[in-house]
Structure 1
C-alpha cells in the first residue's frame, strides 16, 4: 500500500469539476493511443511531442471556461473588436515529466508566467510497495488571486499533487485552480477532489480505473518521465 496523506487545507472541502476529454471522439484519442502503445511510445521525440499536443488540446478546452473582456483594435480596413483573455495565468509543472505538457500549455497561453516544483517518490526502507512524496525545489511567482494551471501528465495516487499544492500555499492563494493531466487513476482523482475548492477544475485526457500495488496507473502507459527523457538511477 502507498503512504496515506493527511492535510488540513485552506479551502472548504468541495469536489472539483472533472472534464474527461476522452468521452468525446476527437484527435486527442489518437495521441493517447500513441503514448500508450509500447510499439510507438519508445520513440522519445514522438512521445514528448504527443504529450505537448495533448497539453494544447486540454488548454483549448480549458480556455472556454476562462474570463474574457472585449477590446477594440483596427484592421487595415476598419475598426473591430475581439474577446481578450482577462486572466493572470501561472503554469506550474511537476518536474521532470511535466515539462512537455508545460510546453503544450505555454503554446496556447503566450503571456503566462511559469512555476516549477520537484516532487519524487522516496521508497520506504521497510517495504518496496510503500513510498513518500518528497518536494525539494520550488520556483514560483506570487500566486495571490492568479489563475493556477497545475500540469502533471500522470495523476496516479494524487499524493504528488497534494504535496505540491501544499508547497505552493506559501506563495499565495490563487483565485482558481485548473489541473491538467494526460492520464489519471480514479483513486487519485477522488483523493485530490476531496481537497480542492468548488472553483477547481481537472482537465484530463483519460481516466483509468485502478492502481497496481506499487501505485502505478493500470493500464496507464508506464513512467512518463523515463519515456520522455530516459531512465533515471
Structure 2
C-alpha cells in the first residue's frame, strides 16, 4: 500500500488539524465539521494528482482552450455517521462522483475494551472497473475500513482504491496495509503513534462523530 502522509509537508492543513484537536475549539460543532470538510478538500486535491488525465478542448466565447482533464469514474463511499463532513469535502472537489454510504460501528460485548465491527446499512452503485474512494475520518484500529471493503466486494471489483482519513494511528495503518493490495493508496492528514486500551487514537482528537453531531446513546 502506498501511503501519503500530508503532515510531513508544511501546509495550511496543519492549522486545520490543530484546530480539530483543540479541546476549546471542539466546543463549536459547526467549526469542527467545517474543518473536517476542509481537510477533505485538501486530501481530494492531493489525490487528484494521481488520477488519469486526457487532453480535451473547451469552447470559450472567444476561441478554444485545451486542458488535461481527469477521466476516472469515481465512487465515493463514506462510513456513517462521522464520515459525513469528510464526504462533503471530497464531494466538493469530485462533484461528478457516484456515492455510496455504509454504517459500520463498534459493538461492545461483556468486556468494554473489546468489540467487533457491525455493518448494517449499505447503499452502493456498481464498483466494477471504477475508482473507489473509501473515506473514514479516524483510522484507529483499521477494522472499520476493512469490514467496509469486505461488504463492498459484492458490488464489483474496482480498478483502483484510495483510502482517505483525517487522522490515523500506526497500528491501524499497519492493519489496513495487510488487507489491501499494493496498488491501494492511503491519503491521510497525519498519523499518531498509538491507540489506548479502548482502541482510540492517542493523542487523536476524541470521538469525531460525537464532536460533529452530538453524543449518542449506547445500546
Instruction: Tell me which interval the TM-score lies in, with the shorter structure as reference length.
Output: over 0.9
Are 2:156 and 1:172 equivalent residues in the alignment? yes
1:78 and 1:90 map into 2 onto residues whose CA distance is 34
Q: Secondary structure at the match of 2:27?
A: coil
Please provide the CA RMSD for this pair.
Answer: 0.6
Deviation at 1:216, TM superposition (A): 0.3
Q: Secondary structure at the match of 1:107?
A: helix
Structure-to-structure mapping, 1:90-129, within 5 angstroms: 90-125=75-110, 127-129=111-113
1:134 and 1:86 map into 2 onto residues whose CA distance is 34
Structure-to-structure mapping, 1:1-40, within 5 angstroms: 16-40=1-25
Q: Secondary structure at the match of 1:231?
A: coil
Higher helix share: 2
Deviation at 1:41, TM superposition (A): 1.1
1:29 and 1:106 map into 2 onto residues whose CA distance is 21
TM-score calculated relative to the size of structure 2: 0.98
1:135 and 1:80 map into 2 onto residues whose CA distance is 47
Name the structure 2 match of 1:181: 165
TM-score calculated relative to the size of structure 1: 0.92
Q: How many residues align?
A: 217
1:203 and 1:79 map into 2 onto residues whose CA distance is 35
Are 2:59 and 1:58 equivalent residues in the alignment? no
| Gap runs ≥5 in structure 2 | none
Q: Deviating runs (4+, > 3 A) in structure 1?
A: none
Name the structure 1 match of 2:136: 152
Deviation at 1:74, TM superposition (A): 1.9
Name the structure 1 match of 2:118: 134
